[in-house]
Structure 1
Amino acid sequence: MSGEVSSDMDNSSTEPLQEKELSILCNKSVQYKVLEFIGEGTFGKVAKCVNLKANENTAMKILKDVNDYAIEVQMLEKLRKLDTEKNNLVGFVDNFIVDDKSCIAFECLDRSLYDLMEQREAPLTLNEIRPITRQLLVALNALKGIGILHADVKLDNVMLVNHQDEPFRVKLIDFGLAMPASEAREGMIAQPIAYQAPEVSLGLPISEAIDMWSLGCLLASLFLYQDIFIGESLYDVMNTVCCLLGQPQDHLLDAGKYTHQYFKRERCSPNSQWRLKTPEEAFLNLLQMLLNPDAEMRITPQQALEHSFVTMSHLADYAH
């Protein structure tokens, strides 16, 4: 499914740690023996460990950034208010810092929905999607109840618990980008490109509703066997959203901080309307500035470097 459904986790294979990398991670009273890496991302690595005291397997997230660690632990502590089993949320086991390693231990689960789709090489049926939908709605409803945005709902972050014994029982994982809804601010960046809600892209107020948009994208991916909103940049995704769902209403575009990155207001009529910009427009505008007959008015190299045709990357690749 490579190239069809996006993933930010490099977990295509599970490789044992090298002999020299085998280690023991020690909390105050518990030792965790690292068995193998089971995933890696920009945040750090995930290792399968065994709790030597309880003889139980755990998934150990080893973060590079101690600030990321502190933020995630803060969110996980808030989750202690919830019944994680009942609400289909990953179980938080332990956290500690040892040497230069910031470690968070979770219950050990089976595999992600992304991995499942890769292995099946086929979409899920509606009868398979239905229980997944219900469980994730329960999870998001629980998070909304305590005022938390997950902000990173995607195939990688939904894990099967034990697919052989409990088919399609899932849990929502990874609270590294989660935040209190009260702290969400319009204009802030959140969510991977393929799952990013229009209000995030446009710079509108943000609420728990962004997780529902991501859930819709996830369910569509399960059904279609590809991302529903495909593109290498936020502009591409916005273009696809407009093609499939229609352009966001003018009152949203009027209020968006970033609307002008994607849309242009037509002023040729009394009732001017927004329309999606085209890459050709940006290019032609740059040419006009380069080819200005007045040398004093001609665009400078520095100004040209900041022109929207050159800086399309500011619309672009945002991945977790």
Structure 2
Amino acid sequence: MDNTILEFIGEGTFGKVAKCVNLKTNENTAIKILKDVNDYAEEVEMLEKLRTLDPEKNNLVRFEDSFIVDDKSCIAFECLDRSLWDLMVQREERLTLNEIRPITRQLLVALNALKGIGLLYTDLKLDNVMLVNHQDQPFRVKLIDFGLAMTASEVWEGMIVQPCAYRAPEVSLGLPISEAIDMWSLGCLLARLFLCQNIFNGDSSYDVMKTICCLLGQPQDHLLDGEFDQIGNLADAVNVYSNAIDEVEVEDTWMRITPQQALEHSFVTMSHLADYAHRK
């Protein structure tokens, strides 16, 4: 083994993450030590697919190596700074729009790259976006942890993916899913950065869908059939809220923007600010 463990910096159901020093290069690395050898094989297979993408250009964590030592399945990555979750905890306040804007652009580039090779990330949340070096490169971020990523051909209707608060409505409703679910999660993540709380709260898909409908309007009734028949009529539960929403507005709010379209949005390009400066 060419790495010496300095400290353990993370732990989850998958296993642990250790900060190590590579004895050959004298550089720090982050080594993910997995409990399940099947998880190890699947993640390494996915990371090999990602080798076609430039990790720096596309804001993805750099995969360095994989190996098994003393029956421990290990995956080595570049060592990054801290997650957006850690940043929010340390700051104890919301991020400004000028801070959120570069994060938005970088994550859109990452999702656009994944979409380009037919991959769904499926696990976008604050913990899985890391600052590279916040002191030297403020708000330079990378997407990490591809243990739950999958190809578009692997998905099937009714499968449950994504953290509950970041879960796209088509997942909860058992409808066909695509790379578009990651854009929903991105919107939830950005709202969390700005509001310091989840925009869609709940302990279950039902609770989250109810909040979604209250805020954005109700999807067509036939889309609610099936999944929610077993736990109650969601349509009745939110009818008092959705009746006040214009039908055209509902249709518009349920459309999903693509990563490429979002990269051309004025929030990212700041074109609206330039127009405002000219008007002044």
What TM bracket, shorter-length normalisation? 0.7 to 0.9
In the other structure, the counterpart of 2:144 is 173
1:79 — aligned with what?
Answer: 50
Contact 2:61/2:142 (CA < 8 Å) preserved in 1? Answer: yes
Code of the aligned partner of 2:57: K
Given that 1:151 and 1:190 are in contact with CA atoms closer than 8 Å, whether structure 2 keeps it comes out as: yes
| C-alpha distance in 2 between matches for 1:78 and 1:122 | 37
User: How many pairs are equivalent?
Assistant: 239
Q: Is 1:50 the equivalent of 2:21?
A: yes
Does residue 127 (structure 1) correspond to residue 103 (structure 2)? The answer is no
1:239 to 210, 216, 225: 210
> How do residues 243-258 of structure 1 correspond to structure 2 at under 5 angstroms?
243-254=214-225, 257-258=226-227
Q: 1:182 aligns with which of 144, 148, 153?
A: 153
Residue 209 of structure 1 pairs with residue 180 of structure 2: yes
Counterpart secondary structure, 2:158:
coil
For 1:264, which of 223, 233, 241 is the aligned residue?
233
Are 1:223 and 2:184 an aligned pair?
A: no
1:50 Cα deviation (Å)? 0.7
Distance of 1:128 and 1:258 partners within structure 2: 38
Q: Aligned to 2:8, what secondary structure does the other structure show? A: strand
- TM-superposition CA deviations, 1:32-74 (whole Å, max 9, x none): 1111110001111000011111111001000000111111111
1:202 and 1:259 in contact (8 A); partners too = yes
Q: Which amino acid aligns with 1:80?
A: R
- Structure 2 counterpart of 1:52, which letter? L
Equivalence for 2:88: 117
| Distance in 1 between residues matched to 2:231 and 2:111, nearest whole Å | 30
Structure 2 CA distance for aligned equivalents of residues 82 and 261 of structure 1: 43
Of all paired residues, the percent bearing the same amino acid is 79
In 1, the alpha carbon distance for the partners of 2:91 and 2:9 equals: 19
Equivalences for residues 1-320 of structure 1 within 5 A: 26=1, 31-254=2-225, 257-264=226-233, 274-276=235-237
For 1:145 and 1:263, the matched residues in 2 are separated by 39
Q: Deviations over 1:99-157 (max 9, x none)?
A: 22110000000000000000000000000000000000000000000000000000000
Which deviates further from its counterpart, 210-219 or 226-235?
A: 226-235
- Provide the C-alpha distance between the structure 2 equivalents of 1:203 and 1:194, rounded to a whole number of angstroms: 16
CA distance in 2, matches of 1:247, 1:277: 7
Q: Compare CA radii of gyration and give the structure with the larger one.
A: 1
Describe the SS at the equivalent of 2:25.
coil
* Per-residue deviation, 1:206: 1.0
Aligned mates of 1:212, 1:201 — CA distance in 2: 15
TM-score (norm 2): 0.82
Contact 1:151-1:178 within 8 A present in 2 as well: yes
Q: By how many angstroms is 1:182 displaced? A: 1.3
Deviation at 1:231, TM superposition (A): 1.4
Distance in 1, matches of 2:76 and 2:15, equals 14
Task: Kindly provide the amino acid, as one letter, of the partner of residue 143 in structure 2.
Answer: L
Whole-Å separation in 2 of the counterparts to 1:39 and 1:258: 35
Q: Which amino acid aligns with 2:101?
A: R
Name stretches of at least 5 consecutive residues in structure 1 with no aligned partner: 1-25, 266-273, 279-320
**3-state SS of paired residue (1:259):** coil
**Contact kept? 1:61, 1:104, Cα under 8 Å:** yes
CA distance in 1, matches of 2:98, 2:129: 18
Contact 1:262 1:277 in 2 (8 A): no
The answer to whether the 8 Å contact 1:263/1:277 transfers is: no
Question: What is the DSSP-based 3-state SS (H/G/I as helix, E as strand, rest coil) of the residue aligned with 2:236?
Answer: strand
Question: How far apart are residue 239 of structure 1 and its match?
Answer: 1.4
- How much has 1:277 moved relative to structure 2? 8.4
CA distance in 2, matches of 1:55, 1:112: 24
Partner secondary structure for residue 260 of structure 1: coil
Gaps of 5+ in 2: 240-280
Q: Could you tell me how far apart the structure 2 residues matched to 1:230 and 1:146 are?
A: 32
**Which amino acid is 1:219 matched to?**
L
TM-score normalised over the length of structure 1? 0.72
1:36/1:162 CA distance change after superposition, 3 Å: same
The answer to whether the 8 A contact 2:40-2:73 is kept is: yes
CA distance in 2, matches of 1:37, 1:71: 23
